[in-house]
Every structure is written in structure tokens, then in C-alpha cells.
Chains A and B, each alone.
Chain A
Amino acid sequence: MSAEVARLDLWARRRALLGYCAGMGLYTLVIVALYPQFKDSTSLDNITKNAPTLSALFGAIGSLTSPSGWLDANIYENFFPLVVLLLSIGYGASAIAGANQEGTLCLVATLPTARSRILVAKVGAMLAQGVALSLTVAVVIAAGRGFQLHLPLIHVGESSTAVFLLGADFGLLTLAIGAATGNRGVALAVGSGTAAASYLVSSLAPVVAWIRPARFASLFYWAVGNDQLTRGVTWAEMVVLVLIGVIASVLAVLAFERLDLG
């Protein structure tokens, strides 16, 4: 029965999800298709050499002309996480707090289904959206081998999974804040504020010495900020990303079970 809760939310967001997937897929295709024109450009690499801090702010570190450097600078370290975060934080804020403020949550919450199951269904809906988007990006990049973009597919798969988990973590954190406060605005602010801070810490850590020790506190560092596309994602990084998601989910369930609905 709780699967119906997930199905309802996915149905309500089907157009937005299609739009996100189509837009991200198209953008990825353009980036992939442009690679042959830039792969031998030394001037591009000079940007990161001459202005490393500025480049780091935009998620560009090291060579921009290697396959992994090109994809990191244009997709994995900025645009892809940003779109995944928009999707997951947006849903995280609306799934409980937004629906409660809108007044539709009481229709769902008065079904003979435990609140914990309702919340798990919403977590499922969030993960399904993230999977759809991440899979779209991974598939388009895999197809990019035809554009001289050669890098191990396993690394593409792992990095796409890491970005998916990154989005899920912040989405679940937002869901938990929404379930604790019942306030969509607060959930959005905390979720997106934490994600922005996390991005800055991970991006600037390689070039700003005093930020460097804080990189372990940034989920971006564990997902995409440590050259994962080149070397693959380690088990330790996966465990951190999964663990944070599990903790956020448990907190969300506990908060939702105490939330007054109206």
C-alpha cells in the first residue's frame, strides 16, 4: 500500500523529472560531443594553472583536456551535482513539509499505513528520481566513446553513483529537516545552504590551505572532489555516502513520527 504513496509522488513530478533528465541528457551530450575540439587545447589547461583558485571555485582542478578532467570540470564537479541537488532537495522539502503546508499530507497520513512506511515510500520516490537522472548522464557519457572520450566505464558508473548518493544525502537531510519542522522554507534553506557550503569547502580545499582540513566534512569531497572519475570511487567513500543517507533517513522517520499534521 505504501508503494502507492511513492507512485503518487512520482506521478505528480513526472513532467519535472522528464524535463530534468532531458535537459541534463542534452547538456551532457553537448559536452561529450565538444570534447574532440578541446582535447588538444593547451590554453585551456593554462586557465587552471594560472588561476587555480578561481578555477577551483567552478570545480575545475588540474588538466581540463584529459577525458576525466574535461568531464569533471564540465559535469561531475558542478553541473551534474547541482541538478541532482535541485531535484532531491526540492523533493525533500516538498515531500513532507511542503505537502503538510499545502494540506494534502493529511489525506495520505490518514490511510491505514504507518508513518514510517509513508516516509520510506517517499525516500524510495526520491531515490528513484535520482537514479533516473544519474543513469541518463552515465548512459550519455558511455555513448561518448564515439567522441574520443575514452575513460573506464566502471569509473563513470561509480562516479555517477556517487553523485546520485550525494544528491540523496542532501535530499534526505532536507526531508529530515522538513519532517522535524513541518516548514518547507526552513527545510529548503538548511538543505541548500548545507550543500552550498559543502561544495565550497570541497572545491577550495585543494587551493586554500586553511580550508583543506575541513574537506573531510564535505560530502562533495567524498563523492566527486577527490579525483574519483580518474581513479574510481573507493569502498570507504561509498560507505560514507551511504551511511550519511541512512542516518538522515532514520532521523527523518523519527521526526515524522512526532510531527503534528494539519
Chain B
Amino acid sequence: MTPAIETVGLTKTYGKNRGIVDLSLVVQPGEVFGFLGPNGAGKTTTIRALAGLQRPAGGVAKVLGYDCWAQAVEVHRHIGYLPGELRLFEAMTGTQHLSWFIRARGIDEPAGLADLLRRFEVVLDRPVGQLSTGNRQKLGIVLALMHEPQVLILDEPTSGLDPLMQEVFHRLVREAVEQGRTVFLSSHELDEVQRLADRVAIIREGRLVVTDTVEHLRSGAPRIIEVTLKRRVASRALAGLDGVRVIRSEGRRCTVELTGPIGPFLRVVAELDPVDLTARRADLDELFLGYYQEGQPARVG
């Protein structure tokens, strides 16, 4: 099956400045793929290369088998693109935007457009320059989705949306995937990615450090253990153990990250008169921060 999105050794540099380096990933049709990384890591550069806006310095990016640069027109026919820093035509109203995009794409008015507009409560009758960031973003999402593209490439799609509208967006993403469409989204909202994405990639300084399912990432993740003792914690006793990193120590309570075996840790804790102990897997944001610590090896799953 042709992947919905595929990059092989994708590299983009800006003069002497790094953009992205040797980035390889595959996104299958019907998948929600989360792309994570802090500002400047290379997320937007990758997304622009996928949208056929930037010419790779090396490697290749493909959408539905079409080369994103050499066959950009075909790629554009099949994608819905939402830029990270959305700029619309300030003097045009929402209605004018919609009419113009329908004419410019050479399509009939999409059947689902009215439903999209209703769900997002898009303001249509005022010039975009007078709209709030959230209202512009809603219009941008509608413009990216209205022609029912097979692949959605969305850069920080929920940025500026209130929680209700974020929920509307999440439902739309799930519906799109149920219809067999593919969603590639970058986000700072780790919780959002955790809820939506089947797989995630984490990018650091232009290079992929991990690509895996959210579940697999979490199952192999360190445990976060919070211990409450009868008396004041001697965190040094815990910090000396293999695979234990003390995250926080306040009074009788201590939080640690455990990557090693739990037995030696429990034996030491047992001697410290524990009152309470809770353990959980690290969530995505803790994982994300972990991958941003130096020395984490790249892993592709």
C-alpha cells in the first residue's frame, strides 16, 4: 500500500543554518500522526516541505506517492494544509474566503461545508482583520478541511482555540480517520497528541529522536513513584540507587523517576517507614522532556 506520507533522508538547510537533517518517516493511510518538538526543532520546516512549499536540500518527501516538490500540484490536490502562523486576507470576510477558495480550487460547494461552519461557529460576515485569533483559526481549519482532502497536514491546529472548539476539532479528526483519511499534525499540546495520535515522532534539533506508538512509548517509559514516609525523607538514600532519579523532595514526600528494577527501590523504601506509595507510567509530556535531555538515542518503532 502506498504510504500517505513518506520522507526518506529529508534534509533542509538555510545557508549555514540547520533546518532538518536526514529525516525519515512513514505515515500509513488512516493514521493520525503526531509530530512533536519545541520551537526551532524543525517541525514547521518538515511540514512546509510536505506541503510542497520548500525545496529539500536532500532526500525526498512524498504524499500519496507524489513527490512534494516535483509533483506539488498533485500533492496540493489531495492535501488540506493549515500553516502554523495562519495569515488570511485581512480585508476579506469569511464568506469571501470560502467563495474564493471554492472557485480557485475549481470545485463545487462541498456538501459538508455547512456542517463544518455550524460546528465551528465560524464568523462569516466580518473582515478577517477584525476577528480574534481563535475565530481566524477556525476559518483556517474550515478552509483546510472543506474540500475533504485525503491527507490533512496541520501545523499547531488548535492554537488559539478554546477548549470547546478544541473538542470539536478532535471529533473532526476522529471522523476523518474513520473515513480512511490521514492526519499529520504538529502540536505543543502533548495531551492533545496523546488523545488523538496513533503514533508520534519527536524531533530534536532537526533530527528525529523517536517514532513510535503512544502506547509503546508509554509502556517503555520510566515509572513515576511518589512516596510518603512517616518522617522526613532522606532523599540521599533513594538517590544513590541504580535507575532512580529524585524529581522532587519536600518534607515527608518524595517523587522519583524509576527506570531500573523496582525490587531494590522497594526494599530501601520499606526501611524508611512508608505511609503511602503511588506509581504510574510517565505521560507524554514527561517522556517528551526526557527525550530532550542530552544523550537519548534515536529510536524508530
Contact = CB atoms under 8 A, between A and B. Distances in A.
B73 A112 contact: yes
Interface stretch (A101-109, A125-133, A189-197, A215-223): A101-109
Contact of A107 (B52, B88, B106): B88
Interface stretch (A1-9, A45-53, A155-163, A235-243): A1-9
Contacts of A5: 104
Given A103-B83, A111-B104, A113-B104, A8 B89 contact: yes
A208 to B, nearest CB: 43
B55 interface: yes
A110 B76 contact: yes
A262 B91 contact: no
Contacts of B106: 1, 112
Interface residues of B, number: 28
B83 A113 contact: no
B54 A110 contact: no
Contact of B53 (A4, A8, A114, A260): A260
A111 B88 contact: no
A103 B83 CA distance: 9
Nearest to A260: B54
A112 B76 contact: yes
A5 B104 CA distance: 7
Nearest to B44: A262
Contacts of B76: 110-113
B104 A110 contact: no
B54 A262 contact: yes
B195 to A, nearest CB: 27
B85 interface: yes
Contacts of B54: 260-262
B51 interface: yes
Interface string A71-110: 0000000000000000000000000000000111011111
A102 B85 CA distance: 10
A262 B48 contact: yes
B73 A113 contact: yes
Q: Kindly list the 10 A-B residue pairs having the minimum CB-CB distance in the complex, ordered from nearest.
A: A103-B87, A112-B77, A4-B104, A261-B53, A112-B76, A260-B54, A1-B106, A110-B81, A4-B103, A104-B87
Interface of A: 1, 4-5, 8, 12, 102-104, 106-115, 258, 260-262
12 contacts: A5-B104, A8-B89, A106-B51, A107-B87, A107-B89, A111-B101, A111-B104, A112-B73, A112-B105, A112-B106, A113-B76, A114-B73
Given A4-B100, A103-B86, 19 more contacts: A4-B103, A8-B100, A8-B104, A103-B87, A104-B87, A106-B51, A106-B53, A107-B83, A107-B87, A107-B88, A107-B89, A110-B53, A110-B79, A110-B81, A112-B76, A115-B72, A260-B53, A260-B54, A262-B53
